[in-house]
Structure 1
């Protein structure tokens, strides 16, 4: 079992005077998280009769492949020694650019990193309903979901919980990440003891999202659902994928560059007509590629095309399915 938990900000808030809490600025929230980490972990320790370990993460840890694998190895080592990993986003140091932002998506990323069999997401309602049960008492619970599509997202609506930053929409996003990796996913009512008794008995107390019959490859899934694009490369409409495989991108095919990124960052490859082609790693910075796109020097373009380093890396390419 791996537990994804939050609560450090709430646990540390009582240590700050009322004036400093007004508006709860980002700096104050980080300070509260720093003060509350030990109290939160102490609370968990009191609830278990076996050892626990805290694993603090940011999105930067997850989207870097080496650090992602390191996280997996650490979790496996803890589990093999009978220690419960308790994962928390590192609110003390994270920024808007580096944070996941909600525990639902964080739990799905951790589930895939840990190669979990199942992901259980606790909510304040019994699962996914066809309408908002807080508004419509006649709303019906969906026990089984075999495909996550626009209709399912429409049912999720916006956030309804008064605590945390995730609503039902982020839970559906998390479920999509998990099932595409072959992980059974459940949304259950975490306030009801019978939810867990039912799960232990092998039954479904809430909504069961069924995994893909053919899960994505680990590296492709990581690229699609964990990495975050730092910019875009706009290519000519003539650029084609061959048998759904990424072909070499020549300098003449590159029309423009959006965003600021470095060599090794993830970018979105998009056609000039707006079609999304793939998320892929670039071997060059935006500075150099901007020069290539704006350059009329054919000799320079030919030199770049003849180098041993292609513009795009073919490792962990995630092809896109929509515009």
Structure 2
């Protein structure tokens, strides 16, 4: 549903580098194979941006939809995760081929997994690759590696992936193309009284309550994941623009610096890049439970996590893994890189730092999580599941 006549045209924030996320619903033809129908205008926008000295990183969905179309009649035979992963594998080449057919510049595929974003070294390697491709005037096309990534196929994570990529490459703007022209006060497909929202200062609980689920049979995301992405981008000081990628005039207006859609502003101050990564990169399944004294110390933002404040290590994680730190009431306190594996943390729990070498026979340092590798969680977060 579109209500373009009620949406004012507004200037986009100044930008030199942007991440553009395009959903499956803009690339699949009536739930079938890929079509250039809406992709052409988006590709033209990227080309004109490049001609103007700007850089665009593309985060594109569509691989599963393309793979399903290749299977034709057999597509309905497998709806489990393995079948969807197989369809993603089949569809990667057609999806990249579609964008290459619409671009005069070389297109480069970059597949990322949660492990690439969780591991600091691989995270920085991915950053170097993307910036290198931009320096070569190539068009980076990023996608979650659906063939092995379980969470992407369940959660429609490409919106959130786009926000992480925006921070990864120091983007000035996150652009999310959808089949809805803006964020509405309610689902416009169900509520005729729904009205579009032109601007929002931040992603609030009230704003999140307006978001619905997935609106497409080929996509796995919805407006909620787009707001989650806007919140992540905003934490890195990056504003987000939501717009209708089906409307040629709307896409053409972007090239002129004008938005017909919803602009979600970012905080004035940027979060330190490392702290941002610690808060938003996928964490391991393990957690460290701490006592009230350690929770108070960490909340001031200048303390490391020492063995004496640890109550337990839950689940499994290795040295260098990103873990969540919780208190006795299951409240998320912080996230950080553990200097010790879970089995080691269990042996160190409640002990003094000077006992580390005696207990383990070696030492990686007096802190389990150093303050430079730790980021406090926002106060509004709910208790851990």
Q: Do both proteins adopt the same fold according to a TM-score greater than 0.5, normalized to the shorter chain? A: yes
Alignment of 1:188-227 (within 5 A): 188-227=243-282
Name the count of aligned residue pairs: 319
Cα distance in 1 for partners of 2:299, 2:222 equals: 39
Query: Structure 1 regions of 5+ residues with no counterpart?
Result: none
Equivalent residue for 1:118? 173
Residue deviations 1:281-309, cap 9 Å, x none? 1111112222334x8xx6x8751289534
Tell whether the 8 Å contact from 1:278 to 1:319 is kept in structure 2 after alignment: yes
Report the CA distance between 1:98 and its aligned residue. 11
TM-score, length-scaled by structure 1 = 0.90
Alignment of 1:1-323 (within 5 A): 1-16=56-71, 18-19=73-74, 21-96=76-151, 101-239=156-294, 240-241=296-297, 244-293=300-349, 302-304=354-356, 307=363, 308-322=365-379
With over 3 angstroms needed to count, the CA separation of the structure-2 counterparts of 1:128 and 1:48, relative to structure 1, is same
Equivalent residue for 2:52? none
With over 3 angstroms needed to count, the CA separation of the structure-2 counterparts of 1:219 and 1:301, relative to structure 1, is closer
Cα distance in 2 for partners of 1:171, 1:250 equals: 37
Residue deviations 1:119-158, cap 9 Å, x none? 1101111111111111111211110110211111111133
Equivalent residue for 2:9? none
Residue deviations 1:218-271, cap 9 Å, x none? 000011112324322221112222672242434332212222111111122222
Question: 2:68 aligns to what SS in structure 1?
Answer: helix
Cα distance in 1 for partners of 2:171, 2:61 equals: 20
Cα distance in 2 for partners of 1:193, 1:281 equals: 45
Residue deviations 1:71-123, cap 9 Å, x none? 12111111122111111111123334999742111111111111111111011
Question: 1:77 aligns to what SS in structure 2?
Answer: helix
Question: 1:69 aligns to what SS in structure 2?
Answer: helix
Report the CA distance between 1:175 and its aligned residue. 0.4
Cα distance in 2 for partners of 1:222, 1:91 equals: 22
Question: 1:172 aligns to what SS in structure 2?
Answer: helix
Which structure carries more relative contact order (alpha carbon 8 Å, separation 6+)? 2
Question: 1:268 aligns to what SS in structure 2?
Answer: strand
With over 3 angstroms needed to count, the CA separation of the structure-2 counterparts of 1:252 and 1:114, relative to structure 1, is closer
Tell whether the 8 Å contact from 1:233 to 1:269 is kept in structure 2 after alignment: yes
TM-score, length-scaled by structure 2 = 0.76
Cα distance in 2 for partners of 1:128, 1:255 equals: 44
Cα distance in 2 for partners of 1:251, 1:40 equals: 49
The two structures, once aligned, show a CA RMSD in angstroms of 2.4
With over 3 angstroms needed to count, the CA separation of the structure-2 counterparts of 1:100 and 1:284, relative to structure 1, is farther
Cα distance in 1 for partners of 2:82, 2:203 equals: 37
